Amino acid sequence: MSIVLAKTAISLIALFATAALLFKKDALINWLEKATPTSVLAIAWVILRLLPFIAVYLIANMEPTSDVNGFWDEASKASMGQVVYRDFWSPYSPLYANFLGIWLKLWYSPKMIVLTMAVMDGLALLASYHFFRPFQSQGTFLFRSLLYLLLPGSLVLCVIGAQEDVWMWLFVILAYLVRERTLRVEWYAAILAIGLLMTKAIFVLILVPLFILEKQKIRFLVPMAIIGIISLGILYPLVGLEFLQPLDEAKTLRAPNIPSILNPWFFNSIGVGEKFWNWIGLVASVGLACLAAWRLRNADFRVMLSKVWTVLYATMMIVQQSAYSNYIFLFLIPLVFYVIDWNNKTQVALLFIFNLLCVVHPSYWWRLGMPCYMTPSDTAASSELLLDYVMQTAIVALTGYFIWLAFPKKSEV
């Protein structure tokens, strides 16, 4: 449980530092208004990403754990020329392992994967500056950037957990920024298609509300279809139907989610692990996202995407039985930069608790042996299990709160 205690301690320190920044909010925003944005972002990234990486992996000489071992297995084999899906199993899109393999040419070590995740997180933040700039003053954006970099949901999950979920946000806003610059729907669609090939299967979910709102639907679909056909033309002769491996992730039972906390109260009779739960999760998350997108069909794309993205992937986090709380890293940027009202103490306090729980719970649950509760008595069989179940319930409840917060109300529309 040492990793659980370490993550808890780091998270609490990060939250205290975030709270200290909030106490100086107005003064810091005024100062940041006069600063050079790229310099501030670069210095903040060095202090809150590169230096922690150096401290943990070079000075303390700790070895990466958890998901990094899986990423290393894929990336190291890809760097040696092995073919994804055929020579090694992967739950990710076909270009993911190959992209990581390129970085390993610079430094052949699992630690390089962590550094790659930190670099990609920095690029996502830089792209977000250009994305949100028309709606936020420079000082406000830079202040929220500091908050984002400090929150445990990004700091710990990036530097310790080496999570890649923020890549999806990077690709979708890059696609929009290119469209805004070139006025070409085709480039927008092509980058989205590349994003799907680079990340994971769940990236396809955001394409549904984006397609519904797209006025030039044919020009949107054609580049995706072309890239998809070319990809299949390359993959199928090499791996056959093994390119469907990422879909196996939906069969993996994790926690916390709505099925995991309801199951004991129905004495294991709700069919946890069955395929129909995956379909329920898919319909619920995409359906809510499409409804949110339709309500915001006349809003600016930045407003629409920030809210729809949060609704979609936060809903997926608690309705999909294969999702777990690390997915906070997937929607934390739009949550921090647009959804949260940083003048609202209740929202801020709940966001702090949410970050702490989402960071600590996966490691705690894993080290308990990934318990699945069958009856109400199971949840209180020991103090450790009771704490786990309370954490699961709190995460699901708080995720529901942030979905409600992001979902566009009729009065807002």
The whole-number pLDDT of residue 409 equals: 83
For residue 403, give Cα distances in angstroms to 76, 172, 308, 396, 399: 38, 20, 10, 11, 6
Give the Cα separation of 327 and 333 in Å (integer): 12
Strand, helix or coil for residue 342: coil
For residue 27, give Cα distances in angstroms to 16, 147, 184, 329, 381: 18, 15, 41, 28, 50
Q: What DSSP designation does 264 have?
A: G
Other beta carbons less than 10 A from residue 188's beta carbon? 25
Do 100 and 71 meet the contact criterion of CB atoms below 8 Å apart?
A: yes
The whole-number pLDDT of residue 1 equals: 64
pTM above 0.75, yes or no: yes
| Both structure tokens of 100 | 């990581």
Q: What DSSP designation does 256 have?
A: S
Whose structure tokens read 């208004």? 33
- Sign of the dihedral defined by the CA atoms of residues 130, 132, 137, 141, in that order: negative
Across the chain, which has 413 residues, the per-10-residue mean pLDDT values are 89 97 96 96 98 96 88 96 95 96 97 97 97 93 98 96 95 97 96 97 96 96 97 95 84 87 94 87 96 96 97 96 90 97 97 97 93 94 96 98 93 64
HEC letters along 207-220: HHHHHHHCCCHHHH
Give the Cα separation of 121 and 155 in Å (integer): 10
Residue count of the chain, please give it. Answer: 413
Give the Cα separation of 123 and 56 in Å (integer): 22
Give the Cα separation of 46 and 32 in Å (integer): 17
| Both structure tokens of 145 | 């950037």
Q: Concatenated DSSP letters for 188-242?
A: HHHHHHHHHHHS-GGGHHHHHHHHHH-S-HHHHHHHHHHHHHHHHHHHHHHHGGG
The β-bridge partners of 84 are 88
Do 325 and 158 meet the contact criterion of CB atoms below 8 Å apart?
A: no
Query: CA Rg, the chain, in Å?
Result: 21
Strand, helix or coil for residue 84: strand
The whole-number pLDDT of residue 413 equals: 61
Other beta carbons less than 10 A from residue 50's beta carbon? 16
Q: What DSSP designation does 244 have?
A: G
Other beta carbons less than 10 A from residue 105's beta carbon? 9
Do 108 and 77 meet the contact criterion of CB atoms below 8 Å apart?
A: no
For residue 260, give Cα distances in angstroms to 279, 314, 315, 354, 411: 16, 16, 15, 18, 34
CA nearest 141: which of 342, 359, 376, 5? 342
| Both structure tokens of 272 | 């946890």
Cα within 13 Å of Cα(354), Cβ side: 24
Give the Cα separation of 3 and 13 in Å (integer): 15
The whole-number pLDDT of residue 249 equals: 75
Whose structure tokens read 């690709």? 171
Give the Cα separation of 337 and 341 in Å (integer): 9
Give the Cα separation of 302 and 131 in Å (integer): 7
Domain range list for the chain: 29-240, 252-413
